Amino acid sequence: MAKIQMKTPLVEMDGDEMTRVIWQMIKDILLTPYIDLNTEYYDLGLVHRNETDDQVTIDSANATKKYGVAVKCATITPNAARMPEYNLKEMWKSPNGTIRAMLDGTVFRSPILVKGITPYIPTWTAPITIARHAYGDVYKNTEMRVEKGSKAELCVTKADGSEERALIHDFKSDGIIQGLHNLDESIGSFARACFNYALDLKQDLWFSTKDTISKKYDHRFKDIFAEIYENEYKEKFEAQGIEYFYTLIDDAVARVIRSNGGYIWACKNYDGDVMSDMIATAFGSLAMMTSVLVSPDGIYEYEAAHGTVQRHYYKHLKGEETSTNSVATLFAWTGALRKRGELDNTPDLVDFANKLEKATIKTIEDGVMTGDLYLISKLENKTKVNTEDFLHAVNERLAEML
Ligand code: NAP
Ligand code: MG
């Protein structure tokens, strides 16, 4: 069989530790035997980030802007313990943070559902995708402790030097205050990324804030979404038979629990942080979550939602057997290859990505799985396999499908 050809390079961002080991195995066992893999390779492993003073991260984000699709391996975000371990010149910033800022993107996370692993909410039969606004609010706050007898005010100095003031509180006892902000432009980018992704997935979009209490701040989010929807997306949504639906965050939570899934839920930064952990846990495992960063101008970066699985890597280094779940990393590859195929109009590549995902799910539903899933799967006949054997088991099923 002739290998599948790729018209445009895919930006490949390699990473660290156990996921770096898995990255190479996926390419060797499941990709290069079938595809003439055309990637522009960037090594975002911490060793190379340190060698290049993190320039490689910036270069990889620029390449993503140029070509439109990237696939990223999990990477170490250095902390104090990593400084001596990797002999670092600096405590380099999180690559995800750098890339997200450069692409001005929104992150969408969805669970991968398999038979045998029942969500804690058993009526969730279709995935719930969380879209989290990744700018501002409490993540860029200014806080103070306030002594009793103080008066706290909001004060804005305008471009012409004039001031606008509002009382926060007259403190009769000790307390605390916090200042938050967001930007119309960032909220607009977030809205467009969500509307585009809903059209892509052909799923309804829900958006929720607390606008009844936060009558200016949260209300601004609601208004910007509504305005962009009316002017730019309403007709496209109606043509696809999907819906945009705004509701209060409390009402959204109640509806989510009662739902069957199958929609995208857009959340403000803090709500998205909290709710994505809730959704991931309720669906079973972080190792069964896909994650994609989508920019408002339609650039896509696919990755796994979990980290570099450090504990497993140290076992691997000692020569011990590991049983690490590669599904989220594998789905980062299939997501990126499918998107590349759609943009380049190469149906072979799209078909390959779809079959590789089916083969992966079939493997787990046949009872062959890694240790993390083995612990939670309710299948009667199940076998725990090691990291590499899982990929071989997927390949057996893939070869049959092709
Ligand atoms: P982690 O790598 O996600 O692992 C946490 C634990 O979750 C693991 O020890 C393992 O539990 C389980 N786990 C996660 N992924 C798994 C998989 N694929 N298969 C089986 N089990 C899995 O998070 P971490 O240990 O907090 O962080 C390690 C490094 O990853 C850090 O340096 C951090 O900076 C980085 N990180 C990167 C990203 C990213 O690039 N997107 C995201 C988060 C963290 P058991 O040990 O109990 O088996
Ligand atoms: Mg969180």
pLDDT digits (tens, 9 = 90+) for 247-269: 999 999 999 999 999 999 999 99
Is the Cβ atom of 309 under 6 angstroms away from ligand 1?
A: yes
pLDDT of residue 284: 80
Helices (H), 44-183: 46-51, 55-67, 82-86, 95-103
Cβ-in-10-Å burial (0-12, 13-18, 19+) of 194 comes to: buried
**How far apart are the C-alpha atoms of 253 and 269, rounded to whole Å?**
16
Ligand closest to 80 (CA) is 1
- Which atom of ligand 1 lies closest to the CA of 305? 41
pLDDT digits (tens, 9 = 90+) for 47-60: 999 999 999 999 99
State the pLDDT confidence band at 105, using cuts at 50, 70 and 90: confident
Does the pLDDT at position 103 exceed 90?
no
Tens digits of per-residue pLDDT, 326-340? 999 999 999 999 999
Average pLDDT score over residue span 204-216 = 97
Q: Evaluate: CB of 74 within 6 angstroms of ligand 1.
A: yes
Which two structure tokens, joined as six digits, stand for 310?
């450090």
Examine the pLDDT at 275 and tell me if it is beyond 80. Answer: yes
- The answer to whether the Cα torsion of 9, 13, 19, 21 is positive or negative is positive
Domain positions in the chain: 1-112+303-402, 118-141+181-283, 142-179
Span 356-387, pLDDT tens digits: 999 999 999 999 999 999 999 999 999 999 99
Selected residue with higher pLDDT from 138 and 229: 229
Break the chain down into helix, strand, coil percent, rounded to 5. 45, 20, 35
Q: Which two tokens stand for residue 65?
A: 């802007």
Q: Which two structure tokens, joined as six digits, stand for 281? A: 């846990």
* Percent of the chain scoring above 70 in pLDDT: 100
Provide mean pLDDT across the span 161-176. 97
Query: What's the confidence (pLDDT) of residue 298?
Result: 85
Domains 1-112+303-402 and 118-141+181-283 in one fold: yes
> Among 91, 301, 309, which residue has the most ligand 1 atoms within 8 Å of its CB, making it the best to mutate?
309
Cα separations (Å) of 230 from 23, 39, 189, 297?
43, 39, 15, 19
What is the spatial distance between Cα 191 and Cα 168, in angstroms, rounded to a whole number? 30
Other beta carbons less than 10 A from residue 161's beta carbon: 6
* Burial of 381 per CB tally in 10 Å (0-12, 13-18, 19+): exposed
* Domain 1-112+303-402 falls under CATH 3.40.920.10: no
* Beta carbons of 290 and 130 less than 8 angstroms apart: no
Whole-number pLDDT of residue 139? 83
Whole-number mean pLDDT of the chain?
95
Quick one: angle between helices 184-201 and 217-228, nearest 10?
50
161 Rama class: left (phi>0) / alpha (psi -120 to 50) / beta:
left
Which ligand 1 atom is at minimum distance from the Cα of 325? 19
386 Cβ below 6 A of ligand 1: no
- Return the CATH number of 118-141+181-283, one of 3.40.718.10, 3.30.70.360, 3.40.640.10, 3.30.930.10: 3.40.718.10
Greater pLDDT, 222 or 277: 222
Tell me the C-alpha distance between 22 and 13, whole Å.
13
* 3-state class (DSSP) for residue 36: coil
pLDDT at 1 over 80: no
Q: Compute CA distances 248 → 33, 109, 192, 309, whole Å.
A: 50, 21, 20, 37
* CB neighbour list of residue 297: distance below 8 Å, 6 or more residues apart: none
pTM: 0.90
pLDDT of amino acid 101: 82
Which residue in the block uniquely carries the two structure tokens 């190792």?
287
Mean pLDDT value of segment 92-99:
91
74/83 Cα distance (integer angstroms): 18
- Alpha carbon 180 to chain centroid distance? 24
**Dist CA 132 CA 136 (whole Å):** 11
Cβ–ligand 1 distance for 73 under 6 Å, the answer: no
Radius of gyration of the chain (CA): 23
First to last CA, the chain: 10
Contact between 8 and 340 under an 8 Å Cβ cutoff? The reply is yes
Between the CA of 171 and the centroid of ligand 2 the distance, in Å, is 33
How does DSSP classify residue 382? -
Q: With a 6 A CB cut-off, is 307 part of the ligand 1 pocket? A: yes
- Whole-number Å distance between alpha carbons of 73 and 61: 14
Strand partners, 289: 111
Ligand 1 pocket member 13 (CB < 6 A): no
Closest C-alpha to 171, from 153, 151, 155, 154: 151
- pLDDT exceeds cutoff 80 at 87: yes
Distance 310 CA to ligand 1 centre (A): 6
